[in-house]
Amino acid sequence: MIELPAGVVPSEMEVLSLDQGSVVRGASSLRIDRPGTRYAIGFTFPPSAKAKVARIVRAKREGIRVHLPLKVPQGSPGTPVVDGAGQSGTSLDVRGFTPGYFAKEDYWLTIIDASGNGYLHQVVETVGADASGEATLSIEPPLRAPFADGATIELAKPYIEGFIDGEDWGWNTPTNWLVSVGFVVEEYE
């Protein structure tokens, strides 16, 4: 898994939900949800002499982890973890929040499974942690992995990890050596 060095931060992101469901149309329409909806995010990086193109080239084969450029800081959540194994759907029980912490609508979070793989989700309803640091988050997309009790949740610096999308990838190196790069990261699963 390739990580970009500190200071190489996207200036923009375009989020795409890879919806595995569909609408069946006939006399009436019926929505059929299927598990596996996940994200792909297109990142644009400002011109920089530190673009680290070699890391991005390696990431085509090895995968990449990119921290999201947050429009607002997501506060000090504490050390949130999954509260109870075997959860599914769009509700996630969490413990370890700073008491009174508010996970706000549109906040991003990454849940890390036992193998160290991160799964990106978004909070879809503002909720505050109680005095014990517990809360039930409403998230999208639905959970798509069986997270263990105590699995780490990253809210302060959420990230997406996956492969760089597309068969080909290139970059332009102008004479001032300030390289502009952009690519799309699609979650593994």
Per-residue pLDDT of 12-49, as tens digits, reads 999 999 987 778 888 888 777 777 899 999 998 887 75
Claim to verify: residue 35 and residue 76 sit in the same structural domain:
no
pLDDT at 159: 97
Backbone φ, ψ for residue 53 (5° rounding): -60, -35
Claim to verify: residue 96 and residue 140 sit in the same structural domain:
yes
The answer, yes or no, to whether residue 79 has pLDDT greater than 90, is: yes
Claim to verify: residue 127 and residue 166 sit in the same structural domain:
no
Residue 127: CATH number of its domain: 2.40.30.290
- Domain of 7, in residue numbers: 1-70+159-189
The answer, yes or no, to whether residue 7 has pLDDT greater than 90, is: no
How many other C-beta atoms lie within 10 A of the C-beta of residue 26? Answer: 6
Per-residue pLDDT of 92-134, as tens digits, reads 999 999 999 999 999 999 999 999 999 999 999 999 999 999 9
Q: What is the pTM of this model?
A: 0.87
Q: Are 142 and 88 in contact (CB under 8 A)?
A: yes
Per-residue pLDDT of 54-77, as tens digits, reads 888 889 889 999 999 998 899 999
Number of separate domains in the chain: 2
Claim to verify: residue 103 and residue 35 sit in the same structural domain:
no
pLDDT at 35: 72
How many other C-beta atoms lie within 10 A of the C-beta of residue 7? Answer: 8
Residue 23: CATH number of its domain: 3.30.200
Q: Are 21 and 31 in contact (CB under 8 A)?
A: yes
Between CA 9 and CA 152 the distance in angstroms is: 23
